[in-house]
Chains A and B, each alone.
Chain A
Amino acid sequence: SYELTQPPSLSVSPGQTASITCSGDNLDNRFVYWYKQRPGQSPVLVIYDDKKRPSGIPERFSGSNSGNTATLTISGTQTFDEADEADYYCQAWDSNTYVFGSGTRVTVL
Chain B
Amino acid sequence: EVQLLESGGDLVSPGGSLRLSCTASGFAFNKSAMSWVRQTPGKGLEWVAVISASTGSTNHAASVQGRFFISRDNSKNTLYLQMSSLTVEDTAVYFCAKTRGLERGFFDYWGQGTLATVSS
Contacts and interface: CB of A to CB of B under 8 A. Distances in A.
Interface of A: 1, 30-31, 33, 35, 41-45, 48, 54, 89, 91, 93, 96-103
Where chain B touches its partner, the secondary structure class is strand
Contacts, number: 58
6 contacts: A43-B107, A43-B110, A45-B107, A54-B108, A98-B105, A100-B46
A101 B108 CA distance: 17
Nearest to B96: A42
Interface of B: 35, 37, 44-47, 50, 59, 61-62, 95, 100-101, 103-113
A91 B44 contact: no
Nearest to B104: A93
Contacts of A91: 45, 106-107
Contact of B50 (A42, A43, A48, A98): A98
Contacts of A31: 104, 106
Nearest to B101: A93
A96 B44 contact: no
Nearest to A87: B44
Contacts of A48: 100, 106, 108
A76 B45 CA distance: 28
B106 A33 contact: yes
Given A93-B103, A96-B59, A45 B108 contact: yes
A93 B105 contact: yes
B70 to A, nearest CB: 13
